[in-house]
Structure 1
Amino acid sequence: MTSGYAIVAVLVVALGTILVGTYGLRVSRTTSDFYVASRTVSPWWNASAIGGEYLSAASFVGIAGLIFAYGPDMLWFPVGYTAGYLVLLTMVAAPLRRSGAYTLPDFAEARFRSRGVRAVASILALAIGWLYLLPQLEGAGLTLNTVTGAPDWVGALIVTMVVTANVMSGGMRSITFVQAFQYWLKLTAITVPIVFLIVAWQVHGSESLTKPEYPVFRQDTEVTFQRLTTIHADRFISIRGTGEIDGARVQNTVVVLTEGYHRIGQGSEFTFPKDAAVPHLSTMEHNTNEMWSLPMSSGQDFPLYGAYSLIIATFLGTMGLPHVIVRFYTNPNGTAARRTTLIVLGLLSVFYLMPPMYGALGRLYTPELLMTGQTDAVVLVLPTRMIEGIGGQLLGALVAGGAFAAFLSTSSGLVVSLAGVLSQDVLRLGGVRGFRISTVLAGIVPLAMTFISTGMPVADMVGLAFAVAASSLCPLLMLGIWSSRITKAGAIAGMLAGGVPALTAGLVTMFTDTGDAWYEILLSRPAAWTVPLGFTVMYVVSLSRRRPHAPVQPVRERGGDTTMHPSDPEFPRQRSGPHH
C-alpha cells in the first residue's frame, strides 16, 4: 500500500504533534506543571486527553485485527476497555485524586507510610508501562512498513524520538494539549473512512459477511512474507513466485501447495490466484465466514476460560495502568475527576463502534492477511483495497495518520508516567532536569525490546499489560482505599504474588513460542488466576500479621483535596484535617 499521501499524512501528524507540544514549553515552568499540569485541567479537556492517551495501538489497529482473525469473542476487548473506566469511576477516581500524589508509588507511600511498599509499586509500574509501550512501538513499525515498506524499527524509532522530544519540552501540560488534539484526530481518521467503505461495500453488492465458504482471494494477489511463516492449506492451490517453500528454493516457478502445512521462507513473494481458498496461519483457526461469526469459534483451547480471564483483566486492569491513573491527579478536585470519567466513557464508546466494522469487512477484502499473520494491518489496507484511485489513497492516508496519532498519544502518556517514577524512585533526581533525563530512559528500554519481540498481535500484548496491572496495582488501590486492615507486609506480598506470575507469563508469551502446549492459554490469559491470587494474599497476609499500631486510615476517609506533593518546598510537614 505504498502511497505518497500516506507518507505525507504520517509526517504531518508527527510534525503537528511536535508543534502542539511546543506550546506546552511556553506554559510549563514548575515541577507541578511537568508532573500534573498544576492540577488545573478541566473535565472536558482532560477527558479528551485521556481518550487520546487511552486509545492506543490496541484500540486503533489491534481490535480490528483480532476480530478479523478470531471473530466476535474478541469484542470483549473494547467492552472491557470501556467498562474498566466505569469501575475506575465508581471505586477509585475521587479518592485517588484526594490522595494528592503525583504518581501511583506516591499514593502507595502516602497510604502505607512505607518506602518498601513504594519501591515494589514503582517496579511494577515500570514493568507495566514498558509492557504497554512495546505494542505502541511495534504498531508504529507495522504502520510505517505497510505504507512505505520501511523496516519495522524505523516507525518505532520515529515514535520514540517524537514522544521523547515532546515530553522533555513540556511534561504533562505539554502532552495534555497533544493528546486532546489527537483524540479528535483519531476519531475522525477511523470514522470518515468506514463511512465510505460501507458505501463501497453496498455498491459492490452487499456481499454477505457470513457466507458458509472459506475466505477467498478476490483477485490475483501477490503476497510478501515478512518472516518465516507456517501456513495450512485446506485445498490444493497453484502459486507462482520466488522464495522458499518447505526448505526448497524456487525461482519464478509455479508450485502446487498440497493440502496440509507448509513453511514459507522470510522474504518470499508469491502470487495466489483469484477465487482460491486462502491458506491460514498455522496458529490461527481456519473457519468459514459463517463459523467465524459465531461465538466460541476462535479455535482457542478453553475459550470460556479465555473470555472470562480477558474480562477480569480489562475490567480491573484499567485502574492499575500508570498512565491512566496519573491523569486524575491533573483534575482540580475529586468532583472534577468523576465528571472527567463520565465524559471519557462517552468518548470511548463512540470510538469503539468503528474497529469491529473494519474487522468484518477484512474477511471479504483483505483475506490474505490471515495467511501472513499481519492481521493488525487490516485497518490500514482496507481503504485502498475497496476504493480504487486517489479516493482510496486519501482515505488510506487519513487512517495511517490516525494510527500514528494513536501510537504517539498513548506513548506520550506512558513516557510521562514512567519518567515520573524513574526520576523519583530509581534515579532519585528531582526537578525538571531529573524528569527530562528520566524521559530518555523511559523511551529507550521499550525501543530495545522491539528487536527481540516475537511480533504477537498488539491487542494481545496490551491485554497482558492489563493482566499485570489487574493482578498487582489494582489490589493495592482497591484494598488500600476501601479497607483499613491492609498492612505494609500484606500490600507487598499481594503485589508480588499477583504481579510477578502475571508478568512472567506475559514475558514468556511474548518472547518464546509456546505452540499448542496445554498451558499456553494460562500464560496468554493469566488474569483469571493471578488476580484472585493477588487479592487473596494481600488480605490474608494482612490479617495474619500483628500490627503494633492502629491501622492506617483509608484514603476514602480523608478529608480535603491535597494540592501539593511531598517534594514541593511549600508542602506542610505536619498535616492535619477533618475526618468524616
Structure 2
Amino acid sequence: MTKDLWSLSGVVVVAVVTFLLGYVGSRRANSTPDFLVARRAVPSTRNAAAISGEYLSAASFLGVAGLVLKDGIDALWYPIGFTAGYLALMLFVAAPLRRSGAYTLPDFAEARLGSTGLRHVCTFFVVCIGVLYLVPQLQSAGLTLNTITGLPAWLGGAVVTVIVVVNVLGGGMRAITLVQAFQYWGKLFAIAAPTFVLFVVFLGGPSNGAQAIDDNGLLRFHEDITFTTGDPVRIRVSEPIMLDVRGVVDGTPTDGPVLWNKGVYTLGAETVLGVQAGSAVPVVDGVPTTNEGWLKPQRSGLSGLFETYSLIFATFLGTMGLPHVLVRFYTNPDGTAARRTALHVLYLLGLFYIFPTVLGVISRQFLPQLLVTGKTDAAVLMLPNTMLPNLGGQILGAIVAAGAFAAFLSTSSGLVVSVAGVVSTDILPGKVRDFRWATVLTGAVAIGLALLLPRGDASLTVAMSFALAASTFCPMLVLGIWWRGLTWVGAVYGLVVGGGLVIIAQGITVASSYTGHWAPSVASQPALITVPIAFITMIVVSKGTRRRRPEDVNQILLRLHAPDPLGFIQDRDVARFGSVEEKARLDLKHRGTGGPRP
C-alpha cells in the first residue's frame, strides 16, 4: 500500500505541475495564431526541449526498455531510428518548411501545390497518424496506473485525456510549449536517476535477486514465483516444466498442477501461473529462448532482415512526416532557428535513450516473468521495487511512474494540438472556438479507440505510425521542397497509394491478432515496400501531369530556399487569421523587402 501511495503521489505531482504550467503558458493566448503556432516566437533551445518532451512518448520511456528485455540487440534499432530521423529532418525539411510560412501540414501542401483537394487528403492522413500515435499513449497510461496502483487500466487513459484536453483548451500551442519543455527535463531525470542507482546496485551484487542463467544460456527462476498473464498470450517452453495453473490453457480450463513438455501453449486472459525455483523461464512465442539468441542479431533469417530494414525506413524517414513534430517547427521565428532546433533535439534524444537501453538489459535478469506474460512495457515501472524492496525502491518507483506519466501527457498534448489544429482549420472555420471543439472531439475519439483496440507493445504500435508518416508526408515534403516537377495530382496519388497500403497492412495485423497471429512480417513492418512505392508514384504521376504544376513554382521554391534575411517568408497564419493591424504590418514588411505579398 505504501508503494502505491508513493507512486500515486508522483503521478499527482506531475498532473498538478502540468496544469499549473499550462495555465501560465495560456494566459496570453487569445488568437488563432497563438493556438496554432504560438505566434512563431519560441526560441530554438526551448523549442528543442519541447520537441524532445513531445517526442519521447510511451514508446521511448517504457517501450524501448521492454523491447530490449524481450528482443535483445535487434531492439537497439528503435532508439537509433527514433534519434537519427532528426538528422534527415534537419538536412532536408526543417528550414524550408518554416520559410513556407505554413501553420499545418495541409496548409503547406496547399501553399506549395495550390490544390484544396490535396489539402483535404492531407487532413485525412494527419488525423490518421495523430490518432494512431495517440492510442498507445493512452493505453500505456492505463498500464502504468494499473501496474503501480492496481486501479483499472481504462482510468489512466481517461485521466491523461482529461488533463491534456483541459490544457489544450486553455491555450493550444502556446500553453503546451512550456509544459513540454519542462517535461523533457523531468523525464530525463526520472529515467536517469533510477538507472544510475540500479546500475550501481547491480554492479555491487548482480546475484542479489537476479535470475540464474545455466550453461545453455537459459534463464531460470531462482525462487518460487506466482504471476498473472493479463492478456491472452502464446508462450514457448524450452524444456519440460511443472507449474500450478489457474486459468485457460489451449482453450481448456485448468486448475491445478500440470506438466508442460517442450512446445508452444496458448494462455487465456488472467491466467495465474505458479512456477517452482530452478525452472527454465518460458517466453512469448517468437522471443529468443537463450541468452545467445538474445545477443545475436538477425535470428529470423530473411524475414528478420526485412523487418530490420523496414524499421530503419520507417523511423529514419517517418520523423520527417510526423504532424505533431513538424508543427513545432512552425513556431520558430525563422528557418535558421528551425534548423538549430533540430540539431539541439539530436543531442537531447541521444542523451535520453542511453538510460532505457540500460534498464532493458538489467530487466532481463530481474524480471523474467515479463517474458511469460508479455507485459514487457512494465519493466521500467517494476524494476526499482524488484531490485530494492525497501523505501529506496519505492521512491525510485515513484520517480519512474511520474516520468512515465509525464511522457504520456507531453506526447498526447502535441498530438491533440496537431490534430485539432488541422480539424479546426480544414473542416471547421478556424476560429479559437472551433479549435476548442476540435480538441474535445479528438480526445473523445482517441480514448474510445484506446479502450476498444487490443493493447500491443507501444514501440511496435508507434512504429506503424512512423511507417504511415514515412509513406505519405515524407515523400510529399522531400519532393515538394527539392523537386520543382511535383504536381498536386502526383502528390494525391502518392499519398493515397502509400498511405493506403500501410492502412491495409495495419488492418491485416489487427485482424491477425484476433485470429491466430498469421500475418507475415511485411504486414507488421511495411515501410520498406510502401515508402519506395509512394516516392515512385508521386514522381511518375507528376511527370505525366506536367501541366498541373503551379505557375509560380519558381517563386515558391525561392521562398523555401532563400536565406532568411532576404525576407521572403510568408506567415500564412497571420494572413488568414491575424488582426487588421497584423495584416497591415505583414503587408508593409513585404512591400519594404520586395518580397511577395501574401
TM-score, normalising length: structure 2: 0.92
1:54-77, CA deviations, whole angstroms, 9 ceiling, x for partnerless residues?
001111111111111111111111
Cα distance in 2, alignment partners of residues 154 and 520 from structure 1: 34
| Greater Cα shift, 208-217 or 19-28 | 208-217
Cα distance in 1, alignment partners of residues 216 and 9 from structure 2: 41
Per the alignment, residue 147 of structure 1 pairs with 148
Would the aligned equivalents of 1:160 and 1:443 in 2 still touch at CA under 8 Å? yes
Q: Does 1:265 align with 2:268?
A: yes
Per the alignment, residue 315 of structure 2 pairs with 314
Cα distance in 1, alignment partners of residues 487 and 267 from structure 2: 56
| Helix, strand or coil at the partner of 2:554 | coil
Give the superposition deviation at 1:452.
2.8
Letter in 2 for 1:402: G
Q: Does 1:290 align with 2:292?
A: yes
Aligned residue runs from structure 1 range 85-104, under 5 A: 85-104=86-105
Cα distance in 2, alignment partners of residues 315 and 557 from structure 1: 27
- Residues 198/212 of structure 1: CA separation in 2 closer, same or farther (3 Å cut): farther
Would the aligned equivalents of 1:33 and 1:172 in 2 still touch at CA under 8 Å? yes
Would the aligned equivalents of 2:158 and 2:447 in 1 still touch at CA under 8 Å? yes
Aligned residue runs from structure 1 range 159-238, under 5 A: 159-205=160-206, 212-238=216-242
Cα distance in 2, alignment partners of residues 15 and 319 from structure 1: 33
How many residue pairs get matched? Answer: 574
| Helix, strand or coil at the partner of 1:238 | strand
1:116-174, CA deviations, whole angstroms, 9 ceiling, x for partnerless residues?
11011111111011111011111111111111112221111111111001100111011
Aligned residue runs from structure 1 range 502-513, under 5 A: 502-513=502-513
Cα distance in 1, alignment partners of residues 90 and 214 from structure 2: 38
Cα distance in 1, alignment partners of residues 301 and 67 from structure 2: 13
Q: Does 1:410 align with 2:418?
A: no
Give the superposition deviation at 1:273.
1.5
Q: Does 1:254 align with 2:257?
A: yes
Cα distance in 1, alignment partners of residues 516 and 246 from structure 2: 28
Percent identity, aligned pairs only, is 47
Would the aligned equivalents of 2:213 and 2:219 in 1 still touch at CA under 8 Å? no
| Greater Cα shift, 523-532 or 299-308 | 299-308
Give the superposition deviation at 1:216.
1.9
1:330-356, CA deviations, whole angstroms, 9 ceiling, x for partnerless residues?
011111111111111100000011111
Per the alignment, residue 330 of structure 1 pairs with 331
Cα distance in 1, alignment partners of residues 508 and 548 from structure 2: 41
Would the aligned equivalents of 2:488 and 2:548 in 1 still touch at CA under 8 Å? no
Letter in 1 for 2:331: T
1:68-111, CA deviations, whole angstroms, 9 ceiling, x for partnerless residues?
11111111111111111010000010100011111000101100
Would the aligned equivalents of 1:454 and 1:512 in 2 still touch at CA under 8 Å? no
Letter in 1 for 2:372: M
Letter in 1 for 2:368: P
Q: Does 1:115 align with 2:116?
A: yes
Structure 2: gaps spanning 5 or more residues:
563-567
Cα distance in 2, alignment partners of residues 444 and 301 from structure 1: 42
- Residues 505/340 of structure 1: CA separation in 2 closer, same or farther (3 Å cut): same
Per the alignment, residue 544 of structure 2 pairs with 544
Would the aligned equivalents of 1:28 and 1:34 in 2 still touch at CA under 8 Å? yes
TM-score, normalising length: structure 1: 0.95
| Greater Cα shift, 27-36 or 93-102 | 27-36
Residue 567 (structure 1) aligned to one of 549, 572, 576: 576
Per the alignment, residue 5 of structure 1 pairs with 6
Give the superposition deviation at 1:502.
1.0
Give the superposition deviation at 1:264.
2.6
Cα distance in 2, alignment partners of residues 404 and 555 from structure 1: 42
Per the alignment, residue 127 of structure 1 pairs with 128
- Residues 555/506 of structure 1: CA separation in 2 closer, same or farther (3 Å cut): farther
1:452-498, CA deviations, whole angstroms, 9 ceiling, x for partnerless residues?
32222110110000001000111110011111111111111111111
- State the superposition RMSD in angstroms: 2.1
- Residues 190/54 of structure 1: CA separation in 2 closer, same or farther (3 Å cut): same
Give the superposition deviation at 1:556.
4.2
Give the superposition deviation at 1:209.
8.6
Per the alignment, residue 243 of structure 1 pairs with 247
Cα distance in 1, alignment partners of residues 59 and 92 from structure 2: 25
Would the aligned equivalents of 1:314 and 1:467 in 2 still touch at CA under 8 Å? yes
Would the aligned equivalents of 1:218 and 1:365 in 2 still touch at CA under 8 Å? no
| Greater Cα shift, 500-509 or 263-272 | 263-272
Give the superposition deviation at 1:515.
4.6
Give the superposition deviation at 1:286.
3.5
Per the alignment, residue 442 of structure 1 pairs with 442
Aligned residue runs from structure 1 range 365-514, under 5 A: 365-426=366-427, 428-513=428-513
Would the aligned equivalents of 2:229 and 2:374 in 1 still touch at CA under 8 Å? no
Structure 1: gaps spanning 5 or more residues:
none
| Helix, strand or coil at the partner of 2:569 | coil
Cα distance in 2, alignment partners of residues 404 and 394 from structure 1: 15
Give the superposition deviation at 1:14.
1.4
Per the alignment, residue 532 of structure 1 pairs with 532
Give the superposition deviation at 1:562.
2.4
Give the superposition deviation at 1:578.
4.4
| Helix, strand or coil at the partner of 1:67 | helix
Cα distance in 2, alignment partners of residues 32 and 346 from structure 1: 29
Would the aligned equivalents of 1:128 and 1:321 in 2 still touch at CA under 8 Å? yes
Would the aligned equivalents of 1:461 and 1:510 in 2 still touch at CA under 8 Å? no
Give the superposition deviation at 1:292.
0.5
Give the superposition deviation at 1:218.
3.0
More helix by share: 2
Would the aligned equivalents of 2:53 and 2:183 in 1 still touch at CA under 8 Å? yes
Cα distance in 2, alignment partners of residues 300 and 406 from structure 1: 35
Give the superposition deviation at 1:247.
4.1
Would the aligned equivalents of 1:61 and 1:379 in 2 still touch at CA under 8 Å? yes
